[in-house]
A and B are shown apart, each in its own frame.
Chain A
Amino acid sequence: MTDTQQDAGKSLTGLKKIRRWPPEVSILLVLVGIMLVFEILGWILIGDSFIANRQRLSIIVLQVAVTGVIAIGVTQVIITAGVDLSSGSMVGFIAMVAASLAQVSTNERAVFGAYGLTDLNPVWAILSGLTLGLLLGFINGFIIAKTKIPPFIATLGMMVSVRGLAKWYTLGQPVALLSDSFSWFGHSFPVFGFPVPRPVIVFLIVAVIFHILLTYTRYGKFTYAIGANPQAARVSGINIGNHLMKVYSIAGLLSGLAAVMTAARAESAQPGMGVGYELDAIASCVIGGTSLGGGVGRITGTFIGTIILGVVTSGFTFLKVGAYYQEIVKGIIIVAAVVIDQNRQNKRRKSS
């Protein structure tokens, strides 16, 4: 009579705990595999090591730091079963605006030269970039929450319009000659004699913050809930519209940050900046195991996914593969990485 009761009590805690590998393990293996392939090909074709070159490793991370920051914002958007296509255009427009507030007075063609808005403290350029990103992201979220149109469409519209804004801002002219204090953010500083680019540090800090945000806060829990089952989320008392506005605003904020980093690194801005970044960012997310269906995804995965994209680009350059071939193979790798990961996930689900 009591045995079933004991059984049930035991089954919750008494049974051997199932060992669960974090879902990132498989994607980490893909990264290691890709690096090994480049290493082996490097020895065979070039007679040089791919991995044992700290300079190259730091360049890989620098290259992906910008799309990485965007990808982190996009990860949380995709977890809510949404998507953000506007981040690349935002980088272009916001880079223009931030750069225009960071020009030196010796530049006769400074955008706001006539108003004396030159040689400003770089804080203004950075703040304006972040604010503008937040605002544009909020508009995305507001439209999605209030009109209930698919995020794909809402952000597609934003993508097209904001790219237009970027071109309109200076009528297509680049913004150049930025102050040293602003460009400082794009430069490297030495760590044990090795140059570490500041954008990489920003990327790492943002990744850690958002990992904590998604894993340990109510904001994070609700983000997963909305993506996993919006109806159940609503019945659980979650205000979906408000939450989506926050999620898209934060994604916009991170696009703004990426824009500032881009302008500082290039020490200039032009309307075509950031073209295709949104797709690289989405690719990083899905390679890292974030499901476009929502409810699934982690920052650690996106981080590794971002590095994979960087490694692939850098590896092809290292092997002296032509740029056209690079793109062709990059597309294939994106699809292959997701297929491998998905197969593994399915196996896991079936076996449990």
Chain B
Amino acid sequence: MVSPSTMKIVRESGAVPGSEFVLEVAEVRKEFPGVVALDNVKFQLRAGTVHALMGENGAGKSTLMKIIAGIYTPDKGTFKLRGVDVRLKSPLDALENGIAMIHQELNLMGPMTVSENIWIRREPKNRFGFIDHLEMRRKTEELFKRLNIEIDPVVEVGTLSVANRQMVEIAKAVSFNSDVLIMDEPTSALTEREVTHLFQIIRALKAEGKGIIYITHKMNELFDIADEVSIFRDGKYIATKNSKDLTRDEIIRMMVGREITQLFPKETVPIGNVKLSVKGLTLNGIFKDVSFDVREGEILGIAGLVGSGRSNIAETIFGVTPASSGAIEIDGKRVNIKSPAVAMHNGMAFLTEDRKETGCFLLLDIQDNTQMAVLQNRYVNYGFVEQTQLAKDSEVMAQALRVRTPDMQEPIINLSGGNQQKVLIARWLLTKPRILILDEPTRGIDVGAKAEIHKLVSQLAGQGVAVIMISSEMPEVMGMSDRIMVVHEGRVTGFLDRSEATQVKIMEMASH
């Protein structure tokens, strides 16, 4: 066993011991109260490869990555860096030993400039001991040139788009001269073009001999970029394969441990009367003159690029940001939706795009998170919450959605992303909505949970609920929707029927 600091010195001397694997962990076990997160797990990363991790939410991918990045210490297991036994005690240890993690939630400081963010704690100093801003800028430019990134090093990070922040985060990780880069769903907020750029950067890093661990739920990305794939299920290691030797179905089978016959189980249901009618809806400067109808039992998909205004339209219909002009009719009657409370009173529910920002109450438990919306209109008697009945109904709902948790008193922050999403869906289903607006309902969610959510949405439509579903994933929109509305730069560019929709047609409408 070598201490991290010794290993650091060895690394800096350049006398790095040779080994087939940059990183090797075995027999890793990690327990949390009530849950075995990892059980006898192994993982090997070769230099100069991209190694994808696949598994359902709660399979243990994130826990394993946090162990590798020094955030968690394992209860048991061996950890080898270039063949040498090491025990990491902190994220700083990991960083100094060449392991950098790019988190799903970006960790940049908004009011500071790009180069200040990258070189924080390692700022170049001039001879008076002050920060040498010119040198810092030069180093940043050099780094960006190497990675083919075009961002001004002196702008504040807070003014950058999500994609650009992601690039800065990656550049920062690379600037540590890391051997191992961990990317946790890096494309979840990126447009197609930005993804292409990201992949170029990843290939460049690969060519430099770095090992890249890539967590994703998107299958097509996997075949695009990954050399090897390791699959996990329920905290256990299942297999490591060459990605060329695998098919999509094989991967899904290994992840889920069962066949998923249909990813988009859209049932044909009778379409009823017009439930929601939007007429000439405008939000100044964001979107203009949006008109559409949704009928009972119909699923209307909204497609468009990130930033096209699709989420803003949903927010306005739900009263989060009331419209500048235009009308909303429910059951043919005009309603003035000036707040979410009014929308809910009219039978609407809205699952927002950003789980962390506008969805979860991270400090509260699952029970509170599930019941918060329904309390607006039901389960309250003279101000008092009907706790027994509500707890029972919430638990039934959580079980129906297969939320993985020891009990309803678990803080929601301890759940995986997919399970958090299920809790939020449970929150809205408890309100028994007649109009359901879903904004990226399956983002960052594994295939199994995805199929469950799709099935659920389909069932709800079968019960006559009018559904609006926004999604960046083309197959999802096409698979689930009866009709698709395409949005581009705040305008509706067209509608496509289920039968006539193709990926090419949608992309054409979405990009001009």
Contacts and interface: CB of A to CB of B under 8 A. Distances in A.
Contact of B34 (A15, A225, A238): A15
A18 B34 contact: yes
Given A7-B234, A217-B383, A13 B407 contact: yes
A229 B404 CA distance: 23
A53 interface: no
A351 B402 CA distance: 24
Interface size class of A (residues with CB under 8 A): 35 or more
Contacts of A218: 375, 380, 383-385
A224 B362 CA distance: 11
Nearest to B424: A232
B376 interface: yes
A346 interface: no
A79 B350 CA distance: 26
Nearest to A231: B358
Contact of A12 (B350, B358, B398): B398
A295 to B, nearest CB: 4
B359 interface: yes
A235 B361 contact: no
A235 B34 contact: no
A11 B32 CA distance: 14
Contacts of A2: 258
A224 B364 contact: yes
A217 B373 CA distance: 14
B344 A228 contact: no
A12 B407 contact: yes
Nearest to B320: A235
Contacts of B339: 237, 239
A344 interface: no
Contacts of A216: 384-385, 387
A12 B404 CA distance: 6
A5 B395 CA distance: 16
A128 B407 CA distance: 48
A229 to B, nearest CB: 5
A160 to B, nearest CB: 30
Given A17-B407, A18-B406, A351 B376 contact: no
Contacts of A239: 339, 341
Interface string B400-415: 0011111111110110
B363 interface: yes
A352 interface: yes
Given A12-B395, A225-B364, A236 B406 contact: no
B399 interface: yes
Interface string A1-24: 111110111011101111010000
A9 B383 contact: no
B445 to A, nearest CB: 15
A154 interface: no
A51 B341 CA distance: 53
Interface residues of B, number: 54
Given A15-B34, A235-B358, A236-B372, A1 B341 contact: no
B228 to A, nearest CB: 25
Contacts of B406: 11-12, 15-18
A11 B383 contact: no
A221 interface: yes
B373 A236 contact: yes
Given A9-B399, A224-B364, A296-B363, A219 B33 contact: no
Contact of B360 (A11, A221, A224, A232): A232
A155 to B, nearest CB: 23
B399 A237 contact: no
B71 to A, nearest CB: 10
A16 B352 CA distance: 33
Nearest to A294: B363
Given A5-B402, A8-B404, A217 B364 contact: no
A299 B187 CA distance: 44
A237 B411 contact: no
Given A5-B402, A18-B407, A238 B376 contact: yes
A225 B373 CA distance: 10
Contacts of A9: 399, 402
B357 interface: yes
A15 B385 CA distance: 27
Interface in A85-116: none
Contacts of A142: none
Contacts of A296: 363
Interface in B344-384: 344, 350, 352, 357-364, 368, 371-373, 375-376, 380, 383-384
B350 A228 contact: no
B232 interface: no
Contacts of B270: none
A222 interface: yes
Interface in B48-65: none
Contacts of B309: none
A234 interface: yes
Contacts of B34: 15-16, 18
B395 to A, nearest CB: 7
B363 A8 contact: no
A2 B383 CA distance: 43
B375 A20 contact: no
A187 to B, nearest CB: 34
Given A239-B339, A295-B364, A221 B387 contact: no
Nearest to A351: B33
A221 B398 contact: no
A28 interface: no
Nearest to A239: B341
B384 A234 contact: no
Nearest to B396: A12
A221 B409 contact: no
A296 B344 CA distance: 27
- Of residues B318, B320, B344, B402, which shows the largest number of chain A Cβ atoms within 10 Å of its Cβ? B402
Contacts of B410: 18, 352
Given A17-B406, A216-B384, A236 B320 contact: no
Nearest to B371: A221
A229 B427 contact: no
B363 A12 contact: no
Contacts of A8: 402, 404
Interface string A199-227: 00000000000000000111101101101
Given A1-B259, A9-B399, A18-B33, A228 B373 contact: no
Given A11-B405, A217-B385, A225-B372, 18 more contacts: A1-B258, A3-B257, A4-B448, A5-B402, A9-B399, A12-B399, A13-B395, A18-B34, A20-B409, A216-B384, A218-B385, A221-B372, A221-B375, A229-B361, A232-B360, A232-B372, A235-B359, A352-B414
Closest 3 CB pairs of A and B: A295-B363, A228-B361, A8-B402
25 contacts: A1-B259, A4-B257, A7-B234, A12-B399, A12-B403, A12-B407, A12-B408, A16-B34, A218-B380, A221-B385, A224-B361, A224-B364, A225-B364, A228-B363, A229-B362, A231-B358, A232-B359, A232-B361, A235-B340, A235-B350, A236-B373, A351-B33, A352-B32, A352-B411, A352-B414
Interface of A: 1-5, 7-9, 11-13, 15-18, 20, 216-219, 221-222, 224-225, 227-229, 231-239, 295-296, 349, 351-352
